[in-house]
Amino acid sequence: MHAFMALIERIGALYHCKLEANPYFHLPLEGKPFGLVVVSAGSGRQALEALKEIAFQIIHCWHMKPVITDSYPYLGVLAKGEKVGEVLEDQKAAEQLTELIKKLMM
């Protein structure tokens, strides 16, 4: 959770720096597509909230374009597991990730 909050803070800091220092500056990633993968050992609800929050921050602050998947949660991939082996065994997430990568490469 600490890494997640640190990422949110960095995104916001870059956004506010842009607004204060040079409102005409365009971030190099502006308009570029992005995909998200959230890994969680906990409930799906917490992972979904994290996915929605980070997507909102990236869209709002960096003006990037999310790649939408064909299956729930659409904004990205939710993988479940606490250890690497558990995450790799999540077949549904692996299939969704393959779809996301294909869409990013189009």
pLDDT score, position 64: 92
Overall domain count for the chain:
1
pLDDT level of residue 75 (50, 70, 90 thresholds): very high
Domain that holds residue 55: 2-105
- Is residue 69 within 8 A of residue 76, CB to CB? The reply is yes
The one-letter amino acid at 8: I
pLDDT level of residue 101 (50, 70, 90 thresholds): very high
- What is the per-residue pLDDT across 22-62, written as a single tens digit (0 to 9) for each? 878 778 889 999 999 988 887 678 888 888 988 998 998 88
Sorted by sequence, the CB contacts under 8 Å of residue 20 that are 6+ apart come out as none
The helix/strand/coil state of 66 is strand
Say what the pTM is. 0.78
pLDDT score, position 1: 58
